[in-house]
Amino acid sequence: MRHGIRRLPALWRATRLARRWYYARRDAYPDWKALIDADPIWPSARAAAQGGPRVLMATGIGSYAHAVSLESALTAALTFRGAEVHALLCDGALSACAECEASLYPNVARFAERGPGRDLCRDCAWPAERVYAQLGITVHRYSDWLKPEDRAEAVQIATSIPLAAIPKFELDGLAIGEHAHAGALRFFASGSLDTEPHGEAVLRRYLESALLTAFATRRLFRTITFSSAVFTHGIYVPWGIVGAVARQERVHVSTWNVAYRKRRFIFSHEDTYHHTLMTEPLDLWEQMELSPAQDRELMQYLASRREGLFDWIVFHRPRKQDQQEIAARLGLDVNKPIIGLPTSVTWDAQLHYPSNAFPSMLEWLVQTCEYFATRPDLQLLIRVHPAEISGFPRSRQPILEELKKRVPRLAPNIFVVPPESDMSTYVLMSLCNAAIIYSTKMGVELTSVGLPVIVAGEAWIRNKGVTHDATSPADYFRILGQLPFADRLGAAQLARARRYAYHFFFNRMIPLTFIEPKAGYPIYQLKLDSLKQLLPGESQGLDTICEGILKRVPFVLRDKGAKASQLVTS
């Protein structure tokens, strides 16, 4: 077997990596050859697109089957719209990337010493190479655009720069260190490297890889003229660096990520959606008036999120939904104001946000607990994010353990619901006078049902005119001093919150009819009967995405027609 599980050491056979290679041999990746053989339109479309606007699918990591599937479909769709599409893949040139995770290495020292070259890299690129080869497009490899002196410079910088200087390290104006640091935190699934024995070695690996990515992509963009680059996430290594270089070289950037709703995706211009959803123009949604049908549609969807019926990202399926039972079980006094505090995962998207009131979620949580110890008239209800234990990678820095180090004994008016609890987060928040959040998307949902929300971090509901947004510790504690709030959101604010929620869940999350959710890895696959399904006019969602990439118009679904509305609750 050339590319199979039998090549793996026994240690790897039960890992996610082994499963990825197994599925790579089956149905995880699309079979474009069968579609092309069945339809003669592809050769002429590809020939006609030569010389058109060049778009780079900067896929990078070949074993990301879901990314390869979507980006190869976009390759075909953009080709039908006259674009000359190229692809960029890593061929083992990097010493660390977003595919690497501590959970795959029982002995992290092995990774720190050797990197991923002897295991992860070995079978990463070939599935994507095969997919793009079937489409017949030009494929660039990282090694093609690196010189020996680039590798020497990357090693020299990565090994010599002081450890404390790495997160803010810049090279020629590129935020190399920020993405390297975020990548290392993701590797360990931790909000800090301080307690990781091999944290420094792994961080330096990510720094080296970030530098190599910068050198390779800068040379590529300066040699071949691209109008646009498309890739997932827009953060970490390599994608965060590709985006930084592309912007510097005046190549338009389109990033994407799987949305919460099934068959839907979020696309953004020039930056990761973690940033753009907080800064996008308000006129994309604030003048929109929801019809009674749209309002019902929104509220039905939000109600469905308690069970995740129409979502493919679900971290928790609660069993306890009774409000009175939950309050009694926790010992809450329902006659005294309760303030909810849903946490986020400490390691996720650890980027710089200038609007944050605190340097980290942990610091915010510590100071919040210290404040509520002085407010016996209030009850603080902390709900730890279920993804700490149900997400992947599983967090190696549980927030409660970190909080206990700083606040060994919580005040009696502070109640904690751990991540493994079977209690519904939505029911917990329904007990509250207000909610305090740092970066969770729940702010969008909670304001839609009228709950006042205080924002201390980079939550997407910030800057929408419906929340109390703190920009400094002093500002934050001033807002907390107003608790409990006398009322829920007024009619005008509630209507505004729902307009934004509809924009977020229905118009920014773009549906693709040919995406089929599936169990296991990856979470979806292409369901195409013919290449004609990718032609202009066949899919409103696909037209929106391609128009955004080629014409730089907002990635917002407009004037939903029948084809898009079929996916409202599917």
| Plot region of 349 (φ>0 → left; ψ -120 to 50 → alpha; else → beta) | left
Q: Three-state DSSP class for 288?
A: coil
Look up residue 443 and give its two tokens. 């702010």
Reference 462, options 355, 350, 344, 349; nearest CA is 355
pLDDT at 13 (0 to 100) = 38
| CA–CA dist 196, 434 (Å, integer) | 36
Cβ(426)–Cβ(441) below 8 Å: no
Superfamily of domain 290-507: Glycogen Phosphorylase B; (3.40.50.2000)
- The one-letter code for the residue type at 403 is L
| CA–CA dist 79, 42 (Å, integer) | 9
| CA–CA dist 364, 456 (Å, integer) | 8
In order of 243, 256, 474, the CA distances from 184 in angstroms are 18, 21, 32
pLDDT at 284 (0 to 100) = 94
- CA dihedral for 444, 325, 368, 199, sign (positive or negative): negative
- The one-letter code for the residue type at 473 is P
pLDDT at 278 (0 to 100) = 86
Reference 268, options 251, 280, 250, 284; nearest CA is 280
First-last CA distance in the chain: 39
pLDDT at 1 (0 to 100) = 27
Reference 145, options 86, 99, 93, 95; nearest CA is 93
Look up residue 24 and give its two tokens. 């790579």
Look up residue 38 and give its two tokens. 């069945």
Reference 445, options 460, 463, 457; nearest CA is 460
Buried residues in 14-30 as b, exposed as e (16+ CB within 10 A):
ebebbebbebbeeebbb
Look up residue 216 and give its two tokens. 């390779």
Q: Residue 20's Cα: distance from chain center in Å?
A: 20
pLDDT at 142 (0 to 100) = 98
What does each of the 570 residues of the chain score in pLDDT, given as a tens digit?
233 333 333 334 344 455 454 444 457 899 999 999 998 899 999 999 999 999 999 999 999 999 999 999 999 999 999 999 999 999 999 999 999 998 888 889 999 999 998 888 888 999 999 999 999 999 999 999 999 999 999 999 999 999 999 999 999 999 999 999 999 998 988 878 888 999 999 999 999 999 999 999 999 999 999 999 999 999 999 999 999 999 999 999 999 999 989 999 999 999 998 889 988 999 999 999 999 999 999 999 999 887 766 676 555 555 667 889 999 999 999 999 999 999 987 655 445 556 678 888 899 999 999 999 999 999 999 999 887 665 555 556 678 888 999 999 999 999 999 988 888 899 999 999 999 999 888 999 999 999 999 999 988 899 999 999 999 999 999 999 999 999 999 999 999 999 999 999 999 999 999 999 887 778 899 999 999 999 999 999 999 999 999 999 999 998 654 333 333 333
Q: Which helix (H) or strand (E) holds 231?
A: strand 228-232
| CA–CA dist 70, 545 (Å, integer) | 12
Domain boundaries, the chain: 31-279+510-565, 290-507
Cβ(250)–Cβ(223) below 8 Å: no
Reference 515, options 261, 268, 234; nearest CA is 261
Residue 415 sits at φ, ψ, to 5 deg, of -120, 140
pLDDT at 173 (0 to 100) = 96
Look up residue 342 and give its two tokens. 């849903």
Cβ(544)–Cβ(555) below 8 Å: yes
| CA–CA dist 431, 339 (Å, integer) | 8
Buried residues in 34-53 as b, exposed as e (16+ CB within 10 A):
ebbeeeeebeebbeebeebb
pLDDT at 541 (0 to 100) = 97
